C-alpha cells in the first residue's frame, strides 16, 4: 500500500493550498511589501486553513507567473525562508510544490522537513512554458541523495497548462507511470488551476489503480467535493477556499470552514 495512506490519520484527506505571494525577481513581486509581506500573507492563510481543520497544507508558488520549468535559486531559497519562519506554527502534515521544478521541490522538502511534494514527474507535454519533459528518475534519485527516502511524491499525470504528446488514454498513462516511476500517489487535474478534473477521468484512473492513491488535484468545490470523495482518495484544494473562490485572493476563513464541514459529513 502507498506511503501516502500512512501520512494522514483520516481517510480521504483534504490538502489545502497556501499560495505564497510572488517571489523576489518574478514579474509580480511586491518589492514594497518585501519578503516580510510574503511571510505575513502565508501566516494568515495558514491560520485560516488550520482553524478550518484541513488535513494537511501545501506551500506553493502559484503566483510566480509566468511559470518556468526550472526556477531561479532565489525562489527556492525564499520559499525555504518563509516556511522556516512559519515552521513552529504548522500543526498539520505539510508539503511543498515549486512550479514546475521537481528537483527544487525535493530540495525544498529536504530543507524544511516537508512530508510530501507535488509535481509533474512523468510524461511529455506541449505547454505554455514550452516543451516539457519531466524526469521522475532524476527526482527520485535526488530524493535519496538528500536522505529523504520517506518523502512522499505526488505525480500529476494530467498536467495543467499543457497537452500530453503521449496519445495513450489517461488511465494507461497513469498505470504505466506507477509501474515505471513509482510515485506514491497520482493526481488528476483540469486544464488550468481552479478548473475541475473530469469525473470520468478520475473514475477511469482509479479503476486501473485500485491500490494507489488517486486524488483530484484542481477545481474541487463545495458543491462537488462530496461526490468527488466517493471516487477519489482525497483532494487538493486552493481556489474554492479563497475569497470569492478566486485563486489570487486570500483564504476566506468561513469558506474554508464550510468546505470542511461538507467534507466531514461526506466522510461520515
- Per the listing, cell 494568515 goes with 44
Task: Please give the model's pTM, rounded to 2 decimal places.
Answer: 0.98
In words, the CATH class of domain 12-263 is alpha beta
Residue 124's alpha-carbon distances to 6, 120, 201, 239, in angstroms, are 30, 10, 19, 27
Higher pLDDT, 107 or 268: 107
Mean pLDDT of the chain: 98
Question: What is the C-alpha to C-alpha distance for residues 143 and 151, in angstroms, rounded to an integer?
Answer: 7
Mean pLDDT, rounded, for 165-194: 98
- Express each pLDDT in 218-237 by its tens digit: 999 999 999 999 999 999 99
Residue 209 scores a pLDDT above 70: yes
For residue 2, pLDDT over 80 is answered with: no
Task: Tell me the per-residue pLDDT of 19-70, one tens digit each, with 9 for 90 and over.
Answer: 999 999 999 999 999 999 999 999 999 999 999 999 999 999 999 999 999 9
Contact at 8 Å (CB) between 120 and 159?
A: yes
Give just the sign of the alpha carbon dihedral 260, 262, 265, 268. Answer: negative
Looking at residue 1, its pLDDT comes to 52
Q: What is the pLDDT of residues 101-123, one digit of tens each?
A: 999 999 999 999 999 999 999 99
Handedness of CA 116, 100, 164, 133 (dihedral sign): negative
User: Is pLDDT at 155 greater than 80 in this prediction?
Assistant: yes
Amino acid at each position: 500500500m502507498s506511503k501516502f495512506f500512512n501520512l494522514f490519520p483520516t481517510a480521504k484527506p483534504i490538502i489545502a493550498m497556501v499560495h505564497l505571494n510572488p517571489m523576489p525577481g518574478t514579474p509580480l513581486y511586491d518589492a514594497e511589501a518585501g519578503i516580510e509581506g510574503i511571510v505575513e500573507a502565508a501566516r494568515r492563510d495558514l491560520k485560516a486553513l488550520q482553524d478550518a481543520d484541513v488535513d494537511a497544507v501545501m506551500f506553493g508558488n502559484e503566483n510566480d507567473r509566468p511559470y518556468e520549468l526550472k526556477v531561479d535559486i532565489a525562489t527556492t531559497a525564499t520559499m525555504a525562508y518563509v516556511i522556516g519562519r512559519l515552521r513552529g506554527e504548522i500543526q498539520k502534515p505539510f508539503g511543498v510544490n515549486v512550479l514546475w521544478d521537481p528537483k527544487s521541490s525535493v530540495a525544498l522538502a529536504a530543507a524544511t522537513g516537508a512530508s510530501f511534494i507535488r509535481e509533474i514527474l512523468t510524461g511529455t507535454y506541449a505547454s505554455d512554458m514550452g516543451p516539457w519533459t519531466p524526469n521522475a528518475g532524476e527526482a527520485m534519485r535526488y530524493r535519496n541523495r538528500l536522505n529523504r527516502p520517506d518523502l512522499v511524491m505526488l505525480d500529476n499525470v494530467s498536467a495543467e497548462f499543457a497537452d500530453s504528446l503521449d496519445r495513450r488514454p489517461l488511465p494507461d498513462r497513469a498505470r504505466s507511470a506507477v509501474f515505471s516511476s513509482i510515485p506514491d500517489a497520482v493526481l488528476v487535474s483540469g486544464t488550468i488551476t481552479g478548473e475541475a478534473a473530469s469525473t470520468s477521468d478520475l473514475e477511469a484512473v482509479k479503476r486501473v489503480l485500485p491500490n494507489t492513491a488517486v486524488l483530484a488535484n484542481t477545481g474541487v468545490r463545495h458543491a462537488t467535493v462530496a461526490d468527488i470523495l466517493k471516487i477519489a482518495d482525497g483532494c487538493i484544494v486552493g481556489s474554492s477556499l479563497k475569497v470569492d473562490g478566486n485563486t489570487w485572493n486570500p483564504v476566506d476563513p468561513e469558506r474554508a470552514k464550510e468546505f470542511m464541514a461538507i467534507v466531514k459529513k461526506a466522510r461520515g
